[in-house]
Amino acid sequence: MGITPEIYDLKNLVNPALGVAGVIGGVISGAISAFYGENINMYVALLLIAVVALDWLGAIGAALKDGSYSSDYGIRGVFRTTIIFLLPLIGRLIDVISGIPIIVAGVEISGFYLFISAGLIYHSWMSMTANFARAGYEKWIPNKMLKQVGSEINAKITRSECRREKINGKEIELSSLKPTPTVESLNELVIPSQNNTKIEEKETD
């Protein structure tokens, strides 16, 4: 394979797309470092972001598959994701205010931040697994893990059915529904009324 002069052309290395991507990456990494801290805290934050992003992809795929996706569902997802990212920040602030860090192998770790983030990562991981199973990727998930998230899958299926019925304009009634009258019963109701009118005509005559 020969080396062409185009490889050394700065136009292929410097372009607006790469510049925008670099700026966005720098802003995101700086924000994560400022909000959640550096060292291991940053890696924990990146893991949480990755799991939540995969949970979003699985949820959208499952909702599109069963026909339960709606704008209201997306708005609730954004609200839920915002809370997930704010809770570790609150834990980080508690650690900073209290000034009681945990030292593990010579590395300073925020106690409340790590505790809250670990719980959110576990919950998001379970939700992600259930969503991908509903989206049709259950054959790629170990059976042991599917058993662990069985209750989560059933709960998500129940919620998706409720959303789909709302989308279709149907409502679930807990009370027993009255049977609709058949054609024969309607005819029976019409015939007496016709006989009564004939009797009244004879009486008037």
Q: What pTM does this model have? A: 0.65
Rounded Cα gap, residues 152 and 141, in angstroms:
15
The domain spans of the chain are: 38-169
| Straight-line distance from the first to the last Cα atom of the chain, in angstroms, rounded to the nearest whole number | 113
Q: Is the model's pLDDT at 181 over the cut of 70?
A: no
Q: Is-contact 135 54, C-beta < 8 A?
A: no
Among 60-69, 92-101, 115-124, the range scoring the smallest mean pLDDT is 92-101
State the pLDDT at residue 189.
Answer: 44
State the pLDDT at residue 63.
Answer: 86
pLDDT band at 123 (very low <50, low <70, confident <90, very high): very high
Tell me what percent of the residues of the chain surpass a pLDDT of 70. Answer: 65
pLDDT band at 15 (very low <50, low <70, confident <90, very high): low
Q: Is-contact 110 95, C-beta < 8 A?
A: yes
State the pLDDT at residue 191.
Answer: 47
Q: Which residue has the higher pLDDT, 63 or 186?
A: 63
